[in-house]
Amino acid sequence: MADQSESGSRRLQSVERAFAVMAFLDEADGATLSETAEALDMPPSTAHIHLGTLVETGYVVRKGNDYHCSFRFLERGGRMRDEMALFRAAKSEIDDLQEQTGEHTNITVEEDGYAVQLYKSHSQQSIDDDAPLGDHLYLHTTATGKAILSELSAETVEEILDERGLPARTDDTITDWDTLFEELETIRERDYSINRGEHFPGVAAIGTAIVSEPDDAVGAISISGPLSRMGPDRVEDDLAPALMNKKNIIELKLKRAE
């Protein structure tokens, strides 16, 4: 049965419920039929139909009495990532950057007004917020997100902020429009962004946008680590030059691939 939303678009309630079931199973790390029905406030018979259908399609697996999201999501997401020009151009450069700096390095893209972590090259000597791959983060809270915002038009940035807001992740998160726009201007001038504990306490990052054409950020790369090792001198003298070198290489690879 279709619902009429306030915007006038039509939605299938069964599809919405199916996605709600999958989201719950993911957050709960698996659940029984009764737990699913109770959590989503639906009759057990309805929950049984949804779970059974999802099992048949392969997106949910049953282990005893528990239901779990399957690796089918990894298959789809992994294929999407592997086919992205940015990932193909940046992965080896990000791995090399991690070896050079001894810190975590990351590739991020923007989707639906969020920063989505596409890839991370881990360093055993470093720490960061441990955000899982595919996690959707607020753009204004991360170095990569702010770098992407700095390449977008003011109108586009305002549209994103209207939709997503400026919620605080930590006491250091920017939550004021004017302050954010001032910082975006600074990022444009120096070509890289800095995040000092704005997404996760004690963790800093430096990021820069990857641009295919003027005013068209296709993603961003970053170096992240503990605040104690990401001081201004190291950022300016060591990390920023290394990051900008990789930016230039990746953008050249993308241009050649066109």
Which one-letter DSSP state was computed for residue 37? H
Over residues 18-46, the pLDDT tens digits come to: 889 999 998 899 999 999 999 999 999 99
- Whether residues 182 and 210 fall in one domain: yes
CATH number at residue 54: 1.10.10.10
Domain end (from 16, 35, 70):
70
Contact 224, 117 (CB under 8 A): no
| Whole-structure pTM value | 0.79
- Whether residues 92 and 35 fall in one domain: no
Over residues 2-21, the pLDDT tens digits come to: 444 444 456 678 888 888 99
- Whether residues 83 and 44 fall in one domain: no
For residue 87, the model assigns a pLDDT of 92
Contact 243, 217 (CB under 8 A): no
Percent of the chain residues topping a pLDDT of 90 = 74
If one counts the domains in the chain, the total is: 2
pLDDT at 180 over 60: yes
Q: How would residue 76 be classed by pLDDT, with cut points 50, 70 and 90? A: confident
For residue 214, the model assigns a pLDDT of 54
Q: Tell me if residue 194 falls in helix, strand or coil.
A: strand
- Whether residues 90 and 10 fall in one domain: no
Q: What is the mean pLDDT of the chain?
A: 90
Contact 149, 209 (CB under 8 A): no
- Whether residues 172 and 242 fall in one domain: yes
- Whether residues 148 and 243 fall in one domain: yes
Q: Supply the range of the domain harboring residue 240.
A: 79-257
How far, in Å, CA of 40 to CA of 28, rounded? 12
- Whether residues 99 and 12 fall in one domain: no
- Whether residues 214 and 136 fall in one domain: yes
- Whether residues 114 and 175 fall in one domain: yes
For residue 11, the model assigns a pLDDT of 65
Domain end (from 24, 47, 70):
70
pLDDT at 64 over 90: yes
Contact 113, 160 (CB under 8 A): yes
Find the mean pLDDT for residues 238-253.
Answer: 97
- Whether residues 104 and 45 fall in one domain: no
- Whether residues 90 and 65 fall in one domain: no
Domain end (from 70, 94, 116):
70
For residue 215, the model assigns a pLDDT of 52
For residue 144, the model assigns a pLDDT of 97
Contact 154, 215 (CB under 8 A): no
- Whether residues 146 and 230 fall in one domain: yes
